[in-house]
Chain A
Amino acid sequence: MRHRAFTTAGLLLSLGLAALGPADAHDYTAGPLKIGHPWSRATPGGAKVAGGYLTVTNTGTEPDRLTGGSLEAAGRGELHTMSMEGNVMKMAPLPNGLDIAPGKTVTLAPSGNHLMFLELKTPLKQGERVKGTLTFERAGTVPVEFAVESLAAKAPAGGGASQDRSGHDHTGHDHGH
């Protein structure tokens, strides 16, 4: 029965992802923390910096805090926040990290709080997965992979990219048309 419940949940999850999620969403669990689809963006030639974006949901009863992150390809990572004031882009480091209260989801995105990776040694290329970590006050350091989206990506890929989501579908009825 447990198995069936799991299968149903899995089915619902995949349906949900197929409907609105990124093409190749990937998730991690660290204790009560659910880490959703860490992603970055392909970097222009010679770029020394890259952004890191993801969601973290605290399903537990204790608060936790995201304090930083790293990328194998970069010297270091810092938590920053970005905001627009009229036509001006404002930036500020978040030295105290980001609280993740029980039951809450924290989103890191290009238009707000994000990880900034500095001293990039190798460019990030669209379509690859790059190794890194996320560091939490309670959950510790969690190894993750960042999916590298296109140079123009303002959000994880959806739309067009979902067409090549699964090779299996193409072996089925799709080819009959």
Chain B
Amino acid sequence: MATDPRPTPPAPQRGSTLILIAFALALVGIIGATVAFLPRGDRPASLSVVGGPFRLESSKGGVVDAQALKGKPFLVFFGFTQCPNVCPTTLADLGSLLDEFGARGGDLQAYYITLDPERDTPEVMREYMASFTDRITGLTGTPQEIERVARDYRAFVKKVPLPGGDYTLEHTLMVYMMDRNGGFAGPLDLNAGHPLALEQLRKLASGGRTT
């Protein structure tokens, strides 16, 4: 009895093993191809759900057209000049970071877009932005233009009435990193310290992934 060959596995079982192996190989192939072709920093702008074209009045005079920024990564930040706490400190911090990046041979521009176009006229923006680095440009426009750019950037804004009759704004407080195609490349983290933020800027400028 010991010489009897063991019965070979039934054909259907062997067949299903082969199918499983083939399926696993196919899966690996699909995943590999997907990873290989995943969009990098230079993905087409059309795939990005954050960001969009804009044409706004510059604090430096004239207009800034997002079309003209093609080929160059840039930063965007929303706020308003009658913001007492976080807008000016973020502008000052971002300004010193961009200057530091500049001193290392980098060159990135940031755009500070007001969410308060009624009060933040080009003249108000010009005077306000003069307190910060040249690498940040203030932008304003008509209420409709501002509403549109805020919507494209998925920026939240809400007017809050104040007891004295004035109003203040609640708004998204994030520095958007935009790649050379105008696509959203992730938020810049200013709270983790300048060395990490500089690394994020370096990756953005070199066209790689930033997050």
Contact = CB atoms under 8 A, between A and B. Distances in A.
Nearest to A95: B163
Interface in B163-188: 163-164, 166, 168-174, 187
B82 interface: yes
Interface stretch (A27-35, A40-48, A139-147): A40-48
Contacts of B163: 78, 93, 95
Chain B interface, DSSP helix/strand/loop, else mixed: mixed
Given A78-B164, A118-B164, A48 B156 contact: no
B160 interface: yes
Interface string B85-122: 11011011100100000000000000000000000000
Q: Which of B84, B92, B124 has the most CB of A within 10 A?
A: B84
Nearest to A112: B85
B93 to A, nearest CB: 6
A49 interface: yes
B160 A49 contact: no
B24 interface: no
Given A47-B128, A88-B170, A88-B173, A151 B88 contact: yes
B156 to A, nearest CB: 5
Given A45-B130, A152-B96, A93 B84 contact: no
Interface residues of A, number: 34
B22 to A, nearest CB: 46
Nearest to B157: A88
B127 interface: yes
Contacts of A51: 84-85
B132 interface: yes
Contact of B173 (A84, A95, A153): A84
Contacts of A88: 156, 170-173
B206 interface: no
A152 B86 CA distance: 9
Contacts of A17: none
Can you list the 6 inter-chain pairs with the closest CB atoms, starting with the nearest? Answer: A152-B92, A46-B127, A44-B131, A45-B127, A51-B84, A110-B85
